[in-house]
């Protein structure tokens, strides 16, 4: 069962009403990201757009369409419509049970990356209250998560690309791609969160 918050339902119904019958359902798909942090894509579809490999799920009077293969991942998920200082849009939160198990970070590549993070990078960003953690390794691609003062910081992209990436590639040249899987909009003190009055 997928749950839509009241705000998400209001926005979806508004779009469906504007479509004047052209659209009849909301499709939720996974368009990329990582196993730990998938990127969800929400689109409105008409009856002719629904494929044979898709499952229709009723949420009240709303029809949601999901690929059969994604349906188990979306079981218990909540769809919300969020508005923040610099962005607004739909946000899908998976149920705890649907979250994939954290990968074991073993092997020489993971160990060498963790050594660089622990010995060089984290001590350098600790003065700003930041930390960077290795969360996954897939082949020669690594997935990093920023925390503390780095999470949501306006300079986080520059820190990752010009500092962290350079240091990791120098120490572990077989790393081909570095992904940032940080949720920069959440946390205790994210940069994007507006001031409270």
DSSP result, 139-185:
TTEEEEEEEETTTT-TTHHHIIIIIIHHHHHHH-TT--EEEE---TT
Residue length of the chain: 197
User: Cα(132)–Cα(119) distance, rounded to whole angstroms?
Assistant: 12
Asked if 65 and 138 sit in the same domain, the reply is no
Q: Give 152 or 75, the one with higher predicted confidence.
A: 75
pLDDT at 48 exceeding the cut of 80: yes
Q: Is residue 189 part of a domain?
A: no
Q: Is residue 195 part of a domain?
A: no
Asked if 158 and 76 sit in the same domain, the reply is no
Can you give the residue range of the structural domain that contains 116? 108-180
Model pLDDT, residue 193: 42
Structural domain count of the chain: 2
For 161-195, the pLDDT digits (tens) are 778 888 888 999 999 988 877 765 555 544 444 43
User: Cα(23)–Cα(46) distance, rounded to whole angstroms?
Assistant: 4
Q: For the domain that residue 11 is a member of, what is the CATH number? A: 2.60.300.12
Asked if 90 and 8 sit in the same domain, the reply is yes
Model pLDDT, residue 34: 62
Q: Are 8 and 28 in contact (CB under 8 A)?
A: no
Asked if 14 and 76 sit in the same domain, the reply is yes
Stretch among 20-34, 61-75, 111-125, 182-196 having the lowest mean pLDDT: 182-196
Q: Give 84 or 51, the one with higher predicted confidence.
A: 51
Mean local confidence (pLDDT), 140-168: 76
pLDDT at 47 exceeding the cut of 60: yes
Model pLDDT, residue 123: 86
What are the two backbone dihedrals, phi and then psi, of residue 183, each rounded to the nearest 5 degrees?
Answer: -90, 90
pLDDT at 87 exceeding the cut of 80: no
Model pLDDT, residue 195: 39
Mean local confidence (pLDDT), 71-83: 83
Half-sphere exposure (Cβ direction) of 110: Cα atoms closer than 13 Å = 13
Model pLDDT, residue 104: 61
């Amino acid at each position: 069962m997928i749950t839509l918050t009241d705000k998400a339902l209001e926005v979806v119904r508004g779009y469906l009403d504007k479509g004047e019958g052209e659209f009849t359902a909301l499709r939720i798909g996974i368009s990329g990201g990582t196993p730990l942090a998938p990127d969800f894509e929400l689109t409105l579809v008409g009856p002719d757009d629904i494929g044979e490999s898709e499952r229709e799920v009723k949420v009240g009077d709303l029809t949601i369409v999901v690929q059969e293969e994604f349906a188990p991942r979306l079981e218990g998920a909540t769809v919300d419509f969020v508005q923040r200082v610099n962005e607004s849009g739909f946000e899908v939160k998976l149920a705890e049970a649907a979250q994939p198990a954290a990968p074991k970070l073993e092997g020489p590549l993971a160990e060498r990356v963790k050594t660089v993070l622990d010995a060089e990078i984290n001590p350098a960003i600790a003065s700003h209250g930041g930390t960077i953690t290795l969360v996954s390794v897939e082949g020669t691609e690594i997935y990093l998560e920023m925390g503390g003062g780095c999470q949501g910081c306006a300079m986080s992209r520059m820190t990752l690309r010009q500092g962290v990436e350079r240091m990791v590639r120098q120490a572990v040249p077989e790393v081909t791609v570095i992904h940032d899987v940080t949720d920069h909009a959440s946390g205790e003190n994210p940069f994007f969160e507006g001031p409270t009055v």
